[in-house]
């Protein structure tokens, strides 16, 4: 049985330096223990080709990286770490994605851009402290209702893991309105 992972998109549009022209930082310099795996630097993604260079890093706005570090510390106390799937995304990649999946809610319209294009969003999942995958209801890059929070897709255990991580990430990373 293959492990299915749900990617939680954590949008940090209210980060204090979003839109300020702040320099992006390598998230691993601010989030000790962060596991970085960028499928868009490989052929293992919905585009079917690498659109990031080999050795791509997880780049984020400083305030976003700091909030990710806060979430990582909280998760660590519960026996988990964060694994990133996508961070800053160049606009040319957004155009490639939109060309293949022009569906708002799944892929941002490149005419307005995405929070990923500003370094203000990161796709994450949970791993154990040893870096082993934690089962989630869907694999990365699932475009459909099964990937929505509250879906009944996946196993009972995978839904429990998703429910465990999602509220923490919402509270820690997404500021209240």
CB 82 within 8 A of CB 71: yes
pLDDT of residue 175: 45
Q: Give the SS3 label for residue 117.
A: helix
Q: Give the SS3 label for residue 133.
A: strand
Query: 126: pLDDT confidence band, cut at 50, 70 and 90?
Result: confident
Q: In the chain, what are the domain boundaries?
A: 8-128
Q: What is the pTM of this model?
A: 0.77
Lowest mean pLDDT segment, chosen from 7-11, 75-79, 159-163? 7-11
Fold of 8-128: Muramoyl-pentapeptide Carboxypeptidase; domain 2 (3.30.1380)
Residues in the chain: 177
pLDDT of residue 15: 42
Give the closest residue to 92 by CA, choosing from 164, 40, 54. Answer: 40
List, for residues 45-85, the tens digit of each pLDDT value.
Answer: 999 999 999 999 999 999 999 999 988 998 898 898 999 99
Give the closest residue to 26 by CA, choosing from 71, 76, 78, 84. Answer: 84
* Cα gap 107→11, rounded to integer Å: 13
List, for residues 128-149, the tens digit of each pLDDT value.
Answer: 999 998 877 676 776 666 665 6
CB 155 within 8 A of CB 49: no
Query: 6: pLDDT confidence band, cut at 50, 70 and 90?
Result: very low
């Amino acid at each position: 049985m293959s492990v299915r992972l749900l990617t939680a998109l954590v949008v940090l549009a209210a980060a204090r330096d979003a839109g300020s022209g702040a320099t992006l930082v390598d998230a691993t310099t601010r989030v000790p223990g962060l596991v970085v795996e960028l499928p868009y630097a490989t052929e293992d993604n919905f585009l079917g080709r690498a659109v990031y260079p080999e050795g791509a890093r997880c780049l984020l706005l400083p305030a976003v990286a700091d909030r990710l570090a806060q979430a990582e510390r909280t998760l660590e106390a519960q026996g988990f770490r964060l694994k990133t799937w996508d961070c800053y995304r160049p606009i040319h990649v957004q155009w490639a994605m939109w060309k293949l999946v022009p569906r708002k809610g799944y892929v941002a319209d490149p005419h307005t851009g995405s929070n990923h294009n500003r370094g203000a969003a990161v796709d994450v999942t949970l791993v154990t402290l040893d870096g082993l995958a934690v089962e989630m209801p869907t694999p990365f890059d699932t475009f459909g209702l099964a990937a929505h929070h509250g879906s009944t897709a996946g196993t009972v255990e995978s839904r429990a893991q998703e429910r465990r991580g999602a509220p923490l990430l919402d509270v820690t990373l997404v500021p209240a309105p």
